């Protein structure tokens, strides 16, 4: 876009110059300031920020695409958002803590005091912030509002759920006031002024603090719009209460389909990114039905109520017949027919109280039939000191309550299968959503002068040709549609398997047949496999023993029979996913003995299955299945001429429910330059949920660094003919835009320190690229049911106005809609051209040794992910206390002891054990 065109947002691209700084009065000498600043300048290190885009790439065949971004026009560019902070209190001055009350109270204020508020609309975030377009009449406003029916979900004391029971003495004062209304004090005070001009500046690549705030206001307006329609809000996504958009994934959990929406600044102006989004909710309806599904039992009498208590805490229910809503605080100690409470007789005084069971009260006093609750615990919806019990069969879970625990393997598989959408279907759903939300009628958006276009933005992509591969006997090989196979082909560098054995934990398996087929298949691929030394069957008496014991016993057996250490062990596991033998088995092999091992759980064994297993075994034992023609002939631009190490970095965290499981940082590095297909990994634990890797450089004395980088750099040096890497290319996975500066200034600094520690005079050049998978941008081929072809790259129009980013779909999306990987080039000291860098990233999607397809994100990142996951299994099955060391990272509570991982045995630490 040339600089003299208007930028489509109602502001001309040419801005007036900023006002000059105020002049210094003639009699002021600014000596003091200089003195203070001088030492600072020496200490201040340069803060790196993401680099700007240097130019566009042009290679590849052009292709016209649509994307799920919608153009946003902003006309009121001169206006301001006013930010007010909100304080809510009950009339006795206690602050309001309950979630969900805030919106009701603020709506009531808006309705009741419209004229005092000069008729202004609010954007309220449900917590402490409220925004308006232009100012309210005064900087501080105080209101009192009364809400009806606010206590339907707050029950006072030990009275029965519909308010007819008897409160105990401490409650009598509270009961005097009308039972179903409450008054609130609301204080709204001015906090800040946000110029809308900040949005226009950001579109020209000048992002400011104000811009983040302005965009946040726009996002809050959309959230509020969804909230008014009764949606469940989860960060930037919202979910309608519509049974048609829910699907059962088992265990009493439903996958609920909703929408993600967020405003993005792009090269073509402001856009609204809308995508389909899924969250987990609890199956609404009778509490008992949910518990039976959740625990997978036959009837309410088989339930584990200790487990049920944990699962139900804080969920919201409706109680019949009154239909009042409550929050579950716990369960009764005794079953319904034995649990008693004190009931005050009608019309009697305080002495006329009787002890009565919950069962008798509901059946005799309220004439409510109870079919099966008498022997089950009651649901408690009262306060700890003043319980209120309701028989379980009268309780139903209300809809749209999030399920936040980790999903089981089966639930996850079911969710993936049921939430797939073909590209065309996804486009239709998104168009419908945009129509249904009626953003053009949203008063706040109108007063900001914001109009959202309803058609998908059109972008131009380019399809890069697949790189040429080399397989066995130096043969060239061209992938088609992102895939290839080894039919009638030999592997590029096959290995030999001489000393090996099979261990069988799986009772039903034709082990001999499997071994015979594996040897035959290996022969066709060029891998010479000798007959195994033995097949070790598990002794049936240990089948019921704990996993660690089973592994231990199997190893004793293997050691007593084998003449020496095997080169390789093939392990047959009883179940495909989540075998609890996997972690202990891997740990024993890799950390204690240094043996390469491959686990399989064969169900349907055919040639394809065996080939895939052999690809993994070959890579683990030091072979290569295929490599890029450009690394074979070394001719990779910028990489083959100068020693270059490629790193993939990732941190994996425990599942949502496990806040105490340490996070695992993994870094993989290329070895044997000029190859870029061979890698090794280094893995460490760190404090739970910490995203930045804290052990890249770990100085423990003047001469010792125990960090990850030293290990990887030394291996590169020894495996690459005693050459230090002069170029270090880093691929970092799993960080959001708000963490880019930390990657550049914290992690990169550690890597530089590690290099300096090895050699003070060594100054390698760095390239830092972030790979993001969890974003919401998708691409579609207009008028075609197919996903975009593999190799599709987009670096214009919906990319960042200033930064160097691009989207790449390297793989062939077979099911659902392809999710592109969003690459951000944060730093490039090597000076790649746009084409060369994109080509390198594309090529690195073809060097993944585990499969014969291009993958969706560069191989080093995938490997880092695999290494972290596999070694994470080591901890999963251990008593963490015995290995705890006190050198965890810092959390808000101070240092947390994190168990250290055992280091891998020397024989396997340089292998691709993670393959």
Instruction: Give the pLDDT confidence of 535-569 residue by residue, as tens digits.
Output: 998 888 888 888 899 999 999 988 888 888 899 99
Taking only the tens place, the pLDDT of each residue in 330-384 is 888 888 888 888 877 766 666 678 888 888 888 888 888 888 888 888 888 888 7
> What's the whole-number mean pLDDT along residues 513-520?
92
82-102 mean pLDDT: 83
Check residue 348 and give its pLDDT: 61
At residue 466, does pLDDT exceed 50?
A: yes
pLDDT for the residue 158: 37
Q: Residue 295 class from Cβ within 10 Å (0-12 exposed, 13-18 middle, 19+ buried)?
A: middle
Cα dihedral 747, 750, 752, 754 sign: negative
Residues 383-401: pLDDT tens digits?
A: 878 888 888 888 999 999 9
For 126-156, write each residue's pLDDT tens digit.
888 999 988 998 888 889 888 875 443 333 3
How high is the mean pLDDT of the chain? 84
- Which residues belong to CATH 3.40.50.2300 in the chain? 494-623
pLDDT digits (tens, 9 = 90+) for 689-746: 888 998 899 888 888 888 999 999 999 999 999 999 999 999 999 899 889 999 999 9
Which has the minimum average pLDDT: 98-102, 239-243, 282-286? 98-102
Where does the pLDDT of residue 456 fall: very low under 50, low under 70, confident under 90, or very high at 90 and above? very high
pLDDT at residue 766, rounded to an integer: 96
Q: Is the pLDDT at 47 greater than 60, yes or no?
A: yes
The CATH code belonging to domain 494-623 is 3.40.50.2300
Of all residues in the chain, the percent with pLDDT exceeding 90 is: 40
pLDDT of residue 150: 46
Confidence of residue 24 (pLDDT cuts 50, 70, 90): low
Q: Helix, strand, or coil here: 49? A: coil
Lowest model confidence (mean pLDDT) among 49-58, 482-491, 650-659: 650-659
> What percent of the chain clears pLDDT 70, i.e. is strictly above it?
88
CATH 3.40.50.11810 fits 285-398, yes or no: no
Higher pLDDT, 92 or 659: 92
Beta strand residue intervals within 220-336, DSSP E? 232-234, 237-239, 246-250, 253-266, 269-282, 285-286, 316-319, 324-327, 330-335
- Report the C-alpha gap between 425 and 145 in whole angstroms: 46
CA–centroid distance for 507 within its chain:
38
Q: In Å, how far are 683, 684, 685, 873, 908 from 903, measured between CA atoms?
A: 8, 9, 11, 14, 10
CATH 2.170.260.10 location in the chain: 285-398
Q: pLDDT value at position 511?
A: 87
| 528-529/496-497 β-pairing | parallel
pLDDT of residue 396: 92
Give yes or no for a contact between 539 and 473, defined as CB atoms under 8 angstroms apart: no
Please state, as a whole number, how many other Cβ atoms lie within 10 Å of the Cβ of residue 496: 12
- Give pTM, 2 decimals: 0.85
At 11, the pLDDT band (50, 70, 90 cuts) reads very low
Q: For residues 162 and 171, what is the distance between their CA atoms, to the nearest angstrom? A: 15
Give yes or no for residue 895 having a pLDDT over 60.
no
DSSP string covering 812-872, please?
Answer: ---SS----EEEEEEEESS---HHHHHHHHHHTTS--TT-SB--SS-HHHHHHHHHHHHHH
Counting Cα atoms < 13 Å in the Cβ hemisphere of 139 gives 4
């Amino acid at each position: 876009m040339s600089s003299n065109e208007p930028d489509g947002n109602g502001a001309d691209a040419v801005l007036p110059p900023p006002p000059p700084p105020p002049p210094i009065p003639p009699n002021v000498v600014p000596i003091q300031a200089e003195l203070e600043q001088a030492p600072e300048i020496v200490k201040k290190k340069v803060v790196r920020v993401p680099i700007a885009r240097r130019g566009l790439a042009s290679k590849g065949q052009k292709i016209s695409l649509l994307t799920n971004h919608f153009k946003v026009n902003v006309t009121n560019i001169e206006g301001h958002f006013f930010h007010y902070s909100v304080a809510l209190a009950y009339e006795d001055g206690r602050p309001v803590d309950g979630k969900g009350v805030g919106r009701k109270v603020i709506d009531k204020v808006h309705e009741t005091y419209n004229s005092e508020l000069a008729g202004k609309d609010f954007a309220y975030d449900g917590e402490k912030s409220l925004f308006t377009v232009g100012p309210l009449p005064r900087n501080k406003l105080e209101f009192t509002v009364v809400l009806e029916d606010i206590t339907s979900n707050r029950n006072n004391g030990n009275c029965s759920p519909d308010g007819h029971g008897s409160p105990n003495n401490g409650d009598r004062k509270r009961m005097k006031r009308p039972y179903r209304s409450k008054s609130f004090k609301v204080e709204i005070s001015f906090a800040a002024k946000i110029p809308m001009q900040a949005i226009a500046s950001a579109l020209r690549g000048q992002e400011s603090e104000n811009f983040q705030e302005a965009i946040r206001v726009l996002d809050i307006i959309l959230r509020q719009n969804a909230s008014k329609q009764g949606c469940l809000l989860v960060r930037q996504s919202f979910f309608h209460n519509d049974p048609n958009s829910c699907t059962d994934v088992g265990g009493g959990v439903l996958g609920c389909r909703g929408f993600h929406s967020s405003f993005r600044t792009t090269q073509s102006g402001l856009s609204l990114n809308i995508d389909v989004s899924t969250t987990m909710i609890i199956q609404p309806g009778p509490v008992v039905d949910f518990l039976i599904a959740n625990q997978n039992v036959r009837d309410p009498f088989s339930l584990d109520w200790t487990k049920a208590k944990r699962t139900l805490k804080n969920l919201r229910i409706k109680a019949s017949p009154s239909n009042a809503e409550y929050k579950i605080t716990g369960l009764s100690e005794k079953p319904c027919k034995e649990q008693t409470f004190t009931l005050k007789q009608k019309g009697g005084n305080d002495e006329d109280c009787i002890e009565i069971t919950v069962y008798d009260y509901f059946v005799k006093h309220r004439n409510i039939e109870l079919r099966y609750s008498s022997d089950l615990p009651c649901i408690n919806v009262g306060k700890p000191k003043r319980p209120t019990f309701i028989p379980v069969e009268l309780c139903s879970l209300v809809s749209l309550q999030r399920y936040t625990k980790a999903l089981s393997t089966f639930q996850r598989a079911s969710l993936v299968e049921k939430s797939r959408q073909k590209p065309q279907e996804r486009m239709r759903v998104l168009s419908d959503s945009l129509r249904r939300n009626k953003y053009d009628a949203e008063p706040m958006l109108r007063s900001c002068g914001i109009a959202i276009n309803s058609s998908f933005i059109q972008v131009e992509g380019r399809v890069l040709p697949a790189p040429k591969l080399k397989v066995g006997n130096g043969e060239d090989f061209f992938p088609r549609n992102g895939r290839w196979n080894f039919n009638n082909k030999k592997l590029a560098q096959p290995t030999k398997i001489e000393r090996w054995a099979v261990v069988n934990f799986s009772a039903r398996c034709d082990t001999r047949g499997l071994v015979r087929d594996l040897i035959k298949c290996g022969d066709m691929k060029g891998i010479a496999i000798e007959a195994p030394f033995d097949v070790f069957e598990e002794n049936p008496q240990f089948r019921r023993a704990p996993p660690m014991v089973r592994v231990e016993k199997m190893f004793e057996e293997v050691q007593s029979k084998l003449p020496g250490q095997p080169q390789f062990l093939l392990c047959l596991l009883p179940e495909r996913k989540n075998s609890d033998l996997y972690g202990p088995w891997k740990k024993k092999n890799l950390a204690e003995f240094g043996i390469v091992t491959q686990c399989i759980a064969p169900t349907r064994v055919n040639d394809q299955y065996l080939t895939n297993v052999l690809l993994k075994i070959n890579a683990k034992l030091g072979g290569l299945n295929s490599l890029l023609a450009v690394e074979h002939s070394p001719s990779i631009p910028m990489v083959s001429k100068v020693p270059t190490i490629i790193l993939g970095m990732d941190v994996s965290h425990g599942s949502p429910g496990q806040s105490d499981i340490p996070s695992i940082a993994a870094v993989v590095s290329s070895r044997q330059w000029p190859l870029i297909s061979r890698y090794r990994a280094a893995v460490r634990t760190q404090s739970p949920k910490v995203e930045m890797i804290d052990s890249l450089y770990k100085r423990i004395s003047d001469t010792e660094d125990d960090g990850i980088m030293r290990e990887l750099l030394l291996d590169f040096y020894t495996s690459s003919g005693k050459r230090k890497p002069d170029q270090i290319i880093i691929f970092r996975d799993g960080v959001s835009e708000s963490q880019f500066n930390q990657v550049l200034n914290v992690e990169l600094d550690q890597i530089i320190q590690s290099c300096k520690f090895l050699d003070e005079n060594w100054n390698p050049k760095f390239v830092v690229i972030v790979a993001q998978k969890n974003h919401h941008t998708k691409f579609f081929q207009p008028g075609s049911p197919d996903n975009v072809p593999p190799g599709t790259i987009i670096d214009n129009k919906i990319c960042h106005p200033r930064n160097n980013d691009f989207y790449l779909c390297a793989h062939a999306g077979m099911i659902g809609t392809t999710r592109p990987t969003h690459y951000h080039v944060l730093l490039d000291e090597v000076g790649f051209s746009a084409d060369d860098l994109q080509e390198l990233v594309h090529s690195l999607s073809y060097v993944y040794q585990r499969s014969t397809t291009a993958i969706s994100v560069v191989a080093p990142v995938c490997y880092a992910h695999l290494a972290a996951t596999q070694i994470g299994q080591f901890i999963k099955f251990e008593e963490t206390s015995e290995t705890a060391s006190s050198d965890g990272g810092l959390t808000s509570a101070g240092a947390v002891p994190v168990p250290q991982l055992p280091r891998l045995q020397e024989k396997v630490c340089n292998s691709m054990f993670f393959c």
